[in-house]
Structure 1
Amino acid sequence: MIKRAYVTYLGSNDYLIGTISLYLSLISGGAQYPFVVMTSPQIGDSEKEILRALSIRYIDVSVPNVSRQIQKFNDEHGFPHWNQTFAKLSMFNLIEYEKIIFLDSDMMILQNIDHLFQCDSFSAVAAGHAFPGHEKWVQLNSGLMVIQPETGLAERLISEIPTTVSNVIGDQDVIQAYQPIWPEKKQLHLSEGYNLFIDCVDYYLRHGILQKKDIYVIHFEGKKPWKRSKLSWCKYFALLMIKRKWKQILYLREYRNLIRRSRAIILHKGFQS
């Protein structure tokens, strides 16, 4: 049997809620392939025990050594978590699978996406490029990618990490450097409905860029919903109502329900372990 899997990366304990929410949405969408979590050295035993209790396979991965200059630059410019995301590159070495679909842990699956396993390796989305002001966003977004793992591929990607930088850098920048002509490879371009930024939802629907049936994956870029307080949620929804972003509110409420279910699972499994 062809081995395929959905893969995500858990880089810190506070992303466990997002990871479980992603898993629950995959199940709701009727995914026929297993869910695998790559775990960084920062993930504790109690979090791994919760994954085991859910029968979710996890694979320990290491964070590649990057220059101190890169780490310091990311830290100083408000992106310290990007220093951990280089471990995502380990996905390219998961050669026990013929093909994987990588998903960021801040995503929600709305419909079955098993058919994406038929796509070529490095198929992805130029996410957000149809939004006004984002016309130059023509490179792939690493939030959702179809990947055919290959021995040594992760190492080749890691070799793309520079030693000095003049801007913040994360795993996506490395992948883009490895695929410099991806924008011209139209056969690798997936519809934005497979990696739709939550802030773009209403604009895309109102202007006919996407129809509701075309939306498969919502990406909660920016501040993570599970980190919002009740007061923050109230202010957020009030602002969206003023802006008449009704569809965004709808999807946020759906995701908020997933977050609640995930918190309940973590609490229950945590007491059991």
Structure 2
Amino acid sequence: MADQAFVTLATNDSYARGAMVLGKSLRNHKTSKKLVALIGPQISEPCQAVLKLIFDEVKVVDVLDSGDVAHLAMMNRPDLGVTFTKLHCWTLTHYSKCVFMDADTLVLSNIDDLFEREELSAAPDPGWPDCFNSGVFVFCPSLETHGKLLQYCTEHGSFDGGDQGVLNGFFSTWATADISKHLPFIYNLSSIAIYTYLPAFKQFGSNAKVVHFLGKTKPWSYTYDAKAKQFKGGVSEASAHPTFLLDWWTLFSSAVVPMLQEQYGDQPFHSGCVKDESSTSAAEETESQMSSEDRKKKWEQGQADYMGMDSFDNIKKKLDSFLK
């Protein structure tokens, strides 16, 4: 429908790449809805050009910053202040209903059925399930609601310093008032939550419709060897299930990088796609930097380096060596 849209936000070129992959994933799964990207004024011209090729509407908005250093410091995420810019999405009043999706999400199947839900529908946050995660939510644009949200920010601030604290405070009855506004977790599957309840992921993970790459390490934080299908950089943080990370990079390298190359032309830019020219593997580099005690703690926390030194192949090599 022309008056319904998926909306995302990018305030820098890194998140713009995430938005490009999100937009492509929505297109690949045959969405019938419009695609809208809200972007900060500092997004480079080549990235803006690619976004305009993928999205139906690209709108430059002012970057709002909560300035709430204390609460953001509690979360060790000072970068989340600009997520207040997300509140601009309520000004898109030429649409009757929208689904907001963070730029670090990836669509795995058609999710147009979300538009059957009402405002404010969202999935529980894995860190505190009585709060919803604001990475995916259904809303109805309204200047009145936008004004009330800004007023709420002024009067109450945010309990976490970011948009999620504001939205949970404003839509405070989400946890108790109407179960139909609780989206199933498969519409906003946290890549971190996979490791906190692995049996559930094994049981239900194949039904996932949207994966959300929560945490500091984003898919674009890695470098990727497309030929070897291997990642480098940040692999020990276990921030994403390797299959989902591979899905993201496969789409980015095949569909988005060629578009970026065309727009950048002769200008140099780092795509993150590299050829592995090093004789030392990422696993060996990480292993040499991490003590056995640190590694043990990572395992106990469910953060094994499954793409590097704790991969099946490396464990098998260790066992073979030991048995010999």
Q: Give the TM-score of the pair, scaled to structure 2.
A: 0.70
- The code of the aligned residue for 2:241 comes to Q
SS for the counterpart of 2:241 is helix
Which residue matches 1:269? 263
Match of residue 177 from structure 1 = 169
Instruction: Say which SS state the counterpart of residue 23 (structure 2) adopts.
Output: helix
- 1:148 alignment partner, one of 140, 152, 156: 140
How far did 1:73 drift?
Answer: 6.1
Q: Which residue is equivalent to 2:129? A: 137
Query: Any idea what the Cα deviations from partners look like across 1:211-257, whole Å, max 9, x if unmatched?
Result: 245310000111101111359935766886xxxx9x92222211121
Match for residue 108 of structure 1?
A: 106
Contact 2:7–2:99 under 8 Å retained in 1: yes
Aligned length: 260
For the residues of structure 1 that align with 2:157 and 2:97, how far apart are their CA atoms?
Answer: 32
Deviations 1:136-159 (A, max 9, x none): 431111100011111221121122
CA contact (8 A) 1:50 1:270 kept: no
In structure 2, the CA distance between the partners of 1:230 and 1:59, relative to structure 1 (3 Å rule), is closer
Residue 195 (structure 1) aligns with: 188
CA distance in 1, matches of 2:201, 2:10: 35
- Tell me how large the CA RMSD over aligned residues is: 3.1
* Worse overlay, 158-167 or 20-29: 158-167
> For the residues of structure 2 that align with 1:175 and 1:260, how far apart are their CA atoms?
34
Q: Secondary structure of the equivalent of 2:130?
A: coil
Alpha-carbon distance in 2 for matches of 1:197, 1:48: 28
State the partner residue of 1:49. 49
Instruction: Please list, as runs of the form range in 1=range in 2, the aligned pairs for 1:1-273 lying within 5 A after superposition.
Output: 3-54=3-54, 56-64=56-64, 66=66, 68=67, 70-71=68-69, 74=72, 78-128=76-126, 134=127, 136-162=128-154, 168-185=160-177, 186-201=179-194, 206-207=199-200, 211-222=204-215, 223-229=217-223, 233-234=231-232, 248-261=241-254, 262-271=256-265
Structure 2 distance, partners of 1:208, 1:64, is 36
Gaps of 5+ in 1: 129-133
State which structure, 1 or 2, has the greater radius of gyration over its C-alpha atoms: 2
Most deviating of 176-185 and 163-172: 163-172
Structure-1-length-normalised TM-score: 0.82
- C-alpha distance 55-138 of structure 1, shift in aligned 2 (>3 A): closer
Counterpart of 1:156 in 2: which secondary structure? helix
SS of the aligned residue for 1:89 comes to: helix
Q: Residue 204 of structure 1 contacts residue 210 of structure 1 at CA under 8 Å; is this kept in 2?
A: no
> Structure 2, unaligned stretches of length 5 or more?
268-324
1:85-106 CA distances to partner (integer Å, 9 max, x unpaired)?
A: 1110011121100000100000
Shift of 1:203: 6.0
| Structure-2 separation of matches of 1:161 and 1:28 | 37
Describe the SS at the equivalent of 2:50.
Answer: helix
| Contact 1:9 1:104 (8 Å CA) reproduced | yes
SS in 2 for 1:14: helix
Preserved CA contact (<8 Å) 2:9 2:102: yes
Determine if contact 1:108/1:218 at 8 Å carries over to the other structure: yes
